[in-house]
Structure 1
Amino acid sequence: MPQLSMHSPVGDLTVTEEDGQIISLDWGWVPSEWQEETPLLLTAIEQLNDYFDAKRLEFDLPLNPPGSQFQKAVCSAMSAIPAGQTRSYGEIAKDLDSSAQAVGNACGLNPIPIIIPCHRVLAANREMGGFSGQGGVETKKKLLALENALPPQQQSLDL
Structure 2
Amino acid sequence: MLTEEVYFYYQSPLSNLYLTVTGLQILKLEYDPQQKECFQKLLPDGEIKSWLDSYFSGQPQQQVPAIKIKGTAFQQKVWEVMLKIPYGETLSYGDVSNILDSAPRAVGQACKRNPVPILIPCHRIVAKQSIGGYEGATSGHRLDRKQWLLNHETPQ
TM-score (normalizing by structure 2): 0.81
In structure 2, the residue matched to 1:148 is: 154
Aligned equivalent of 1:137, options 116, 136, 143: 143
CA distance in 2, matches of 1:12, 1:44: 15
Where structure 2 has 5 or more consecutive residues not aligned to the other structure, the ranges are none
CA distance in 1, matches of 2:119, 2:81: 13
- Does residue 124 (structure 1) correspond to residue 128 (structure 2)? The answer is yes
Where structure 1 has 5 or more consecutive residues not aligned to the other structure, the ranges are 151-159
TM-score (normalizing by structure 1): 0.80
2:19 match: secondary structure: strand
Change (3 A) 1:8 1:36: closer
Change (3 A) 1:137 1:149: farther
Change (3 A) 1:17 1:101: same
Aligned length: 147
In structure 1, the residue matched to 2:48 is: 44
CA distance in 1, matches of 2:61, 2:70: 23
In structure 2, the residue matched to 1:103 is: 107
Residue deviations 1:23-70 (CA, integer Å, cap 9, x gap)? 21011474367648677xx42123212211223264431122221111
Identical pairs, percent:
32
